Each structure stands twice: as structure tokens, then as C-alpha cells.
Structure 1
Amino acid sequence: MSSNKPTPRKQAVSNAKTGRRHRSDAEKLKIVKESFEKGCVQAQLARRHGISTSQLWDWRARYKAGLLEDRADFSQVVVTQETPEGVQDQARSAAACPDLVIEVGQCYRFTIPAGFDMDAAARLLRGLA
């Protein structure tokens, strides 16, 4: 005869690490820059930092594409031409407004002409994100 009573179960809880480590962009950047040093053997570098060589190659490719860089919590803004007080954006002529230049990483630069519809530019840039 079998008993219909539920059998108590034990759950094993482990504090062991899974082996995956999430590195910050600053850590990745440090490793990538080290990989570009003269005489560096990438396989040894990867082993020393506990990553695979394919992971190092991926980070290097991202760095070359401008996708891996030191990131601040804010963007640097440089004023190149002061705006006269009391002038409305719509009233300014295209000659008085400089082009808007947006640099992303080391490889990409977007130049938006002064007379361009800024709402359309915002939609375009949001679509690229």
C-alpha cells in the first residue's frame, strides 16, 4: 500500500559563483587598451583576466567601432557661438545658426544643417538609438 502523503522535499542552496562575471565598460576598456600594447599576446592576456580570446576580440571590435569607450553620466556641451538674448529660435535666419554636429564614439559624426527641421532630426536620432 502506498501512502498519499506528500514527501517533504529539500532544496539545495548554493553560494557558488556561476562563472560569469559582468565587467564595467571601464574594465573592458582597460583590457582592450592593454591588448593593443606592443608585444602583447592576446591569448595570455585573456587567460590572465579570465576571459576567452573570442570575448577579447569582440571587445576590440566594439572599441574600433566606437561602441566601447569611457562613458560619463553626462554629455559634454561646447558653446561655439553665443545666442543673443531675446531672439526666438524661429526668428533666427539659417545664416545666423551654425550647423549642429553630433559626434558618437570615435567613428561617427552627424551634421544637421541649420535650417533642418529639428523635430525630424530628433526622430531620426531616436531611430538610430
Structure 2
Amino acid sequence: MKKNPLIPYAIIAVVGVLAVIIISFVGVGQRDAIQQAEEGGTEQSAEGEVSTDPEAVFQANCAACHGADLSGGMGPDLTTVGSKYNAEDITGIIQNGKGQMPAVQIPAEEAQLLAEWLSEKQ
């Protein structure tokens, strides 16, 4: 009895098509979740509130590069940043980035609070 060589290929093709369909549905769900996060996720913190503690904002967003004590690391030392930049300049740097520093995605109120705090570091 002669085996039909097309049967294994047909099974592989059907399994492949089903896999593509399943992956497509998963991708559509992920795309929707990403769009929802982009539309409403960047304006408020995880708790839905704007922080009023500039040190907490710094620790959450800046300390990884600038050091927990402002002394630098990957990013520059910020212990005397207020002698070089005023609060408005610092806000602009936080929101738009500068050099290798990327823009930080935090609410404008937190950026202003953080900038005022950093501008006092002289």
C-alpha cells in the first residue's frame, strides 16, 4: 500500500494556519491594551494621584541614573544643579530630555515640583 505524501504536509499547513489565527487574536488584544494605556496611562501615577513629595518623584523616576543621593551614576551629578539651571530650565529638561537623557513621562505638576526641589540644590 502506497502512502499519500500530501497528508503530513496538509496537517502541518492546517496547524500553521490555526497558529497564525490564534496569534493574531492575541496580538489584537494586546494592541488594544497598549492603546488604552497610552491614552490614559501617562497623565496620572499608578494610584491615580499626583505626588506632592519631590523626593519620592525623584526616587521613582530619576535615582536609577542620577543616584539615590543625587551624586550621579549613568547620569550627571545633580547635587548642585540649581547653581546651573533655574526651575523653569529644569522642568524643560525633565519634560523634553537633553543630550542622552530621555524625556520623563510624569505629570506636569510632578515635573514642576521636582524642578523646584532640584533648583534649590546649590
Q: TM class, shorter-chain normalised?
A: under 0.3
**Structure that is richer in strand per residue:** 1
Computing the radius of gyration from Cα coordinates, the structure with the larger value is 1
Ranked by relative contact order (alpha carbons within 8 Å, sequence separation 6 or more), the top structure is: 2
**Normalised TM-score (structure 1):** 0.23
